[in-house]
Amino acid sequence: MAVDNNGDNHQPAGRPDGGQYAPKAGQGTDDDLATPSEVALLDAAAMLTGRREQARRDADATTGDDAWYTGKGRYLGYEYADAIVDAARHADDIPEGTTLTDMAFDDEALAEYLEDMDSDSSPDDVRSTAAHAAEGAATPAERAERELGIMEDFAISRMRTTDDRDSLHRAMGFASAIIDARDTLRR
């Protein structure tokens, strides 16, 4: 490769592109591009931020218990999903036996989400089920999607077992937010 007085590389003579500037080392490589998993996590994080705020505004603006509880549940679901996605985005090396749920929530925080859904489940139930679901996940996005599925199952179970309308609507809103987040991660 020929180098001119300015230190620029040129293609060697005798080639069809001889004398033209040669690309810089590393130029045109895709080493700096985000992986599909990273893109999915970034998309989910952006979606969750906007939808969580919208759900809060919707709950504040509604009249009537059903709409308020659905909005409140949706807000909590987006908040929960955002914490899982954030843990996945920042978990370069997750220690063996640790889940995103472990990284995102302490027992008190998990208990609050379960209480908001009027669930009879305990934080230990969520943690053990999340650990089982996370086994074999290839990427952080897949791991987040699987662990969110656990809380979606808890919300759906609550919807099926409650006779209380407020609890039903809160669980419906929560499950719909988790489903939105999981759909974004699957793209």
For the chain, residues with pLDDT lower than 50 are none
Dihedrals φ, ψ of 137, to 5°? -70, 130
Question: How many structural domains is the chain composed of?
Answer: 2
Q: Which amino acid is at 17?
A: D
Do 4 and 74 have their domain in common? no
Helices (H), 25-164: 36-61, 65-89, 100-104, 107-116, 123-134, 140-161
Do 78 and 138 have their domain in common? yes
- C-alpha Rg value of the chain to the nearest Å: 24
Angle subtended by helix axes 107-116 and 65-89, to nearest 10: 150
Provide the residue range defining the domain that includes 97: 36-186
